[in-house]
Amino acid sequence: MSTSAFVLPVSLALHLLTSASPAPQNTATAPSQDPAPKSAATASVKAAPPAVSKLSAAQQATAAKLVGPALAEGHAYARLAELTDGVGPRLSGSESAEAAVQWALRSFQADGVKAWKEPVKVPRWVRGEEHGEILSSERTRGLPLALLALGGSAPTPPEGITAEVVEVNSLEELAALGDKVKGRIVLFNHTMSEAADYGRFAGMRSRGPAAAAKQGAVAALVRSLATASLRTPHTGATRFDEGGPRLPAAAVSVEDALTLHRMLQGGTVKVRLVLGCSDLPEADSSNVVAEVRGREKPDEVVLLGAHLDSWDVGTGAHDDGAGVVMVMEAARLIAKLPQAPRRTVRVVLFMNEENGLRGGRAYAEAHAKELSKHVAAVEMDAGGGRPLGVSLHAGPGGEALMRPWLAPLEGLGAARFLVGHATGADLSPMEPAHVPFVGVRVDSSRYFDVHHSMADTLDKVDPQDLSRSTAAVTWMAYALAEAPGTLVRPTAPESDEPPPAKK
């Protein structure tokens, strides 16, 4: 694909590099910028002095060599087109997931960046046939349901399952019903309307079907976790206990969940559900690892991570193709510098983040002895929106260490520290090693419009937003690898809650 339509003029790129940063946004009016903040406060801008450039002339020149091309060349968007339109959806264990691994290796080779595969054993779940309908009754005509099976769902019998629907709005409400759900299809309804709601309701999808199965339900329907819908269902993973009961589970569109809710107010509603899911034997797959070796302290590693797999619907453009091309582009641009940074910059494209996290665990296990030398880790897995700022999970003094290095991000509107999560799902297995985490946060306010749906395609990614966030990631990777000092290691996990994984 030609990139000419997506390239920023050099004059605009230089203007962005040198212009002043926009004023920080008031997150009281824009609480959905963070994909899953714990509270309104976690998405706020920290009250800290603005970034003041204390970089040397040589460091500022390096910033121009990294940020300028990231903005002006359009390389990240062109590569995203290759991944999404060329390779397509990449559910772990599939042929297309293996094609993505080979694509990544070829791309790193073309960039002059050393890369290799590391083995990962992944689950192999296949979607198969899927359809459902609300059966006609004395009150209503029958209606088809727009649905997608949840990853990990059990199949129905070939003839399907027909049962009455019972609606719940929380796991607690389900538990309170006890045996009343036996023999029924449980509808998990909720009121997600903005990105900040995802963390509140994701448990109904990930844990709800298993809980319903233990109470004797025959199937589960979950309202899609979405901030916009044109009757588009959004899939995602659901988990069942090993050896525990499983049942067929599907996400229904927002509109269909609301239809079921209204119908249930008037009496009994029956649904017929047919899912042809299957679990195949685990497959051999790979993480793709690449690095630019440091010139002075090559054993100290700054890790940039994103996940190469996607769901089998859409083409995984925002989730997580955008993150993949950002970190790949960071390695490409840093490798082109006349002098490598002090420390090694390592890119890891994790496999199986969506339905198992096997890649993140495999990397942490394989590199356990060197995690003490991982001086920082960044995960990009919140879409291709514009950059907002930087968050840290480190010991004391982190902001003071990094503040001077934010100056080149002023023209991108990202030269500020944000309160909130800096970790990610694939980084979470590294938490016991107290690896410092750095978040290059992007605007995810519209991310859940298309997340895990057929609509997650290249056209939803804005090329200029992608280039700006690529520039921010590239510069922060270099800064962490080049700074004279390193972040103090945190003494505790980021929180007692699970990391704000999207899955």
Residue 323 sits in the same domain as residue 444 = yes
Of 276, 308, 330, the domain-final residue: 276
Of 258, 276, 294, the domain-final residue: 276
Parallel/antiparallel/unpaired status of strands 297-307 and 343-350:
parallel
Catalytic residue among 130, 167, 300, 353: 353
Residue 39 lies in a domain: no
Instruction: Please give the Cα distance from 412 to 465 (Å, whole number).
Output: 10
Residue 296 sits in the same domain as residue 207 = no
Identify whether the C-beta of residue 223 lies closer than 8 Å to the C-beta of residue 261.
no
Of 213, 242, 276, the domain-final residue: 276
Residue 207 lies in a domain: yes
Residue 268 lies in a domain: yes
Residue 487 lies in a domain: no
Known catalytic residue at 353: yes
Residue 291 sits in the same domain as residue 271 = no
SS3 of 403, please? Answer: helix
Identify whether the C-beta of residue 348 lies closer than 8 Å to the C-beta of residue 289.
yes
Residue 229 sits in the same domain as residue 339 = no
Residue 35 lies in a domain: no
Residue 70 sits in the same domain as residue 201 = no
Residue 407 lies in a domain: yes
Q: Would you say the pTM of this structure is higher than 0.85? A: yes
Residue 464 sits in the same domain as residue 425 = yes
DSSP-derived secondary structure letter, 367 = T
Residue 297 sits in the same domain as residue 270 = no
Residue 100 sits in the same domain as residue 155 = no
Residue 61 lies in a domain: yes
SS3 of 364, please? Answer: helix
Quickly count helices (H) and strands (E) in the chain. Answer: 12, 15
**For residue 138, what are the domain limits?**
129-276
Residue 313 sits in the same domain as residue 200 = no
Instruction: Please give the Cα distance from 376 to 306 (Å, whole number).
Output: 15
Backbone angles phi, psi at 372, to 5 degrees: -65, -20
Instruction: Please give the Cα distance from 385 to 77 (Å, whole number).
Output: 12
Residue 223 sits in the same domain as residue 289 = no
Question: What's the pLDDT score for residue 496?
Answer: 42
CATH no. for residue 236? 3.50.30.30
Domain count, the chain: 2
Residue 297 sits in the same domain as residue 250 = no
Residue 83 sits in the same domain as residue 173 = no
CATH no. for residue 388? 3.40.630.10
Question: What's the pLDDT score for residue 17?
Answer: 53
Instruction: Please give the Cα distance from 31 to 33 (Å, whole number).
Output: 6
Residue 326 lies in a domain: yes
How many CB atoms within 10 Å of residue 179?
Answer: 8
Instruction: Per-residue pLDDT tens, the chain, 503 aa: give them.
Output: 333 344 454 444 545 554 443 333 333 323 333 334 333 333 456 644 554 558 999 999 999 999 999 999 999 999 999 999 999 999 999 999 999 999 999 999 999 999 999 999 999 999 999 999 999 999 889 999 999 999 999 999 999 999 999 999 999 999 999 999 999 999 999 999 999 999 999 999 999 999 999 999 999 999 999 999 999 999 999 999 999 999 999 999 999 999 999 999 999 999 999 999 999 999 999 999 999 999 999 999 999 999 999 999 999 999 999 999 999 999 999 999 999 999 999 999 999 999 999 999 999 999 999 999 999 999 999 999 999 999 999 999 999 999 999 999 999 999 999 998 899 999 999 999 999 999 999 999 999 999 999 999 999 999 999 999 999 999 999 999 999 999 999 998 876 444 444 44
